[in-house]
Structure 1
């Protein structure tokens, strides 16, 4: 059913449902929350992920600023344009992640260098407003906006000719906004990369990640419909079957190229992969997208790789510098060959690219 496995075992770590304070539509409110995570660190260098949540009124573009306290410097960034002057760092949205409604989040990442120490920045501002995790209203009555999981989106709402993305949340997994936001950031980075490589790219739906409240708990997805003790494909296979049934999607389906991620897996047993029309990934990929399982480059490269299968490409036979080999771990320092570009454009979903 799927041709390539990505195996990096990790336990799912999920947060609890939370609520944030916002103001009514008549208010002019500003507020933000920032999560800064050092995802990996080595002598002289590090990788970091930054998640930004807009707690105030909707914005159409954002500028995040902070200052490093120990001489760190940004050397490479993705999902934002990052510049630095002395200790002061400025990150500006790119074209696809500038609009943030109330309660919406986006994320970006970067690699940097350090000497001596690498402390986390102590303060951030978003469009000039201090990010304290609260909202500063000028008028209006506060209301509560819970970040609870939405109901599954009917299949008729997804635009044909797009890459359609799902996050399936088992019944015993708490909703965590980092997951849909992080998965959206990963597929948007893949969207940017395909544009860079091919001169054209795929479209995403307005609801980039459809959150699906699963019908079963994690253990059911791990252990049901398995052959003996082989649980390797059970999780993604059970997710795949549930998504196809509930949303009336075929395998493959000419309307969409589908991506499914589920927050469940058995340690060292559950993986994922892809074939033309479908990408199916389990818990370690969902965790990685959420920024809690290693450097983001690996998850960006992994999505580019699996979407390559979704567009019809096979694995490369050697580590050849293309994302269809182990070279995807070197992302973004990897490139499609001309033959791979031609095959994508001529493949079963080449018409999705524009």
Structure 2
């Protein structure tokens, strides 16, 4: 009797499953469906990824009924797709949260925006033990555009160097202010250039793989003691120049002298040498002391006319 009952039970079960013609006929035949959200997005960059760069974000999330984008601590959105214009060259973290009744899912992607190719990239570095000085920022921004106009007037063909839309960007240094003008493994052995080489090393640390003196000329000021210098692709000045731009350097209270000094070092970043003729009017000799009444010599203009940085 027990054997007969078992056989009947088996036959009933088999007939039940065979009777399921399709998934909708029987829940036991269908695998469970995961309705949890899966966040994802793609993005495209215009202008070859250079500032000003419009980035279009396309939401490809699945099983989602709501979305939250985070482009920065203060910039968020709940739209399905998004678009942003980035004017500052750097790497941004963009986060998307996808939501539904079952929960949420998050994905973060890195978006790298480059400066304009063959442009002058200007930085004001504030050491980690100092507070940002807005007066330095304003004076340096004005000086930079002043130098740009001076080069245009001297070229005689309306050419000058290109600046990025922001003109001047800011960075927080990795070191205290006393480090920049001190001897160490990155400073070189000549005390005149301690600050120059230390600043160059730190900028490489701050920018990482995006540091490129072939595609960009870096014009850098640090709010810390140190003298100025320049080589192809990079120049740096210290707070004596920043104070000079504000007219509070007792060595010379005329801001023009310090604007001219910046123009001189930037000339080195463009590959201009000190002139053999030692012309006192030439900005690449001592003419920066009488800026803006100094000159580019023809040999300077020839170099700049052949440079990708002048257009």
TM-score range, shorter chain: 0.5 to 0.7
Cα displacement (A) at 1:230: 5.4
Greater displacement, 280-289 / 226-235: 226-235
TM-aligned CA distance change 1:263 to 1:197, over 3 Å: same
Contact 2:182 2:194 in 1 (8 A): yes
How far apart, in 2, do the equivalents of 1:245 and 1:174 lie? 21
Gaps (5+ residues) in structure 2? 1-87, 92-111
How far apart, in 1, do the equivalents of 2:89 and 2:310 lie? 26
How far apart, in 2, do the equivalents of 1:249 and 1:180 lie? 26
Query: Is residue 286 from structure 1 mapped to residue 245 from structure 2 by the alignment?
Result: no
TM score, norm. by length of structure 1: 0.51
Q: Identify, as 1 or 2, the structure richer in strand.
A: 1
Cα displacement (A) at 1:214: 0.9
**Aligned to 2:123, what secondary structure does the other structure show?**
strand
Contact 1:167 1:262 in 2 (8 A): yes
TM-aligned CA distance change 1:152 to 1:164, over 3 Å: closer
* Per-residue CA distance 1:294-325 (angstroms, 9 max, x = gap): 21110121122111111111112323311111
1:219 to 178, 187, 203: 178
Contact 2:221 2:237 in 1 (8 A): yes
TM-aligned CA distance change 1:238 to 1:245, over 3 Å: same
How far apart, in 1, do the equivalents of 2:299 and 2:242 lie? 31
How far apart, in 2, do the equivalents of 1:153 and 1:229 lie? 33
TM-aligned CA distance change 1:229 to 1:342, over 3 Å: closer
1:188 to 135, 145, 151: 145
TM score, norm. by length of structure 2: 0.58
Question: Within 5 A, what are the aligned runs for 1:202-241?
Answer: 202-225=161-184, 231-241=191-201
1:201 to 146, 149, 160: 160
2:230 to 264, 274, 283: 274
Q: CA RMSD in A?
A: 2.5
How far apart, in 2, do the equivalents of 1:273 and 1:229 lie? 15
**Aligned to 2:131, what secondary structure does the other structure show?**
coil
1:333 to 293, 296, 303: 293
How far apart, in 1, do the equivalents of 2:267 and 2:189 lie? 30
Residue in structure 1 matched with residue 8 of structure 2 by the alignment: none
How many residues are aligned here? 197
How far apart, in 1, do the equivalents of 2:297 and 2:89 lie? 38
**Aligned to 1:192, what secondary structure does the other structure show?**
helix
Gaps (5+ residues) in structure 1? 1-150
Q: Identify, as 1 or 2, the structure richer in helix.
A: 2
Query: Is residue 242 from structure 1 mapped to residue 199 from structure 2 by the alignment?
Result: no
Question: Within 5 A, what are the aligned runs for 1:63-82?
Answer: none
- Asked which structure has the greater CA Rg, the reply is 2
Query: Is residue 170 from structure 1 mapped to residue 119 from structure 2 by the alignment?
Result: no
Residue in structure 1 matched with residue 35 of structure 2 by the alignment: none
Residue in structure 2 matched with residue 160 of structure 1 by the alignment: 117
Contact 1:202 1:353 in 2 (8 A): yes
Contact 1:168 1:260 in 2 (8 A): yes
Cα displacement (A) at 1:236: 2.4
Cα displacement (A) at 1:234: 2.2
How far apart, in 1, do the equivalents of 2:147 and 2:132 lie? 25
Residue in structure 1 matched with residue 271 of structure 2 by the alignment: 312
Residue in structure 1 matched with residue 214 of structure 2 by the alignment: 254
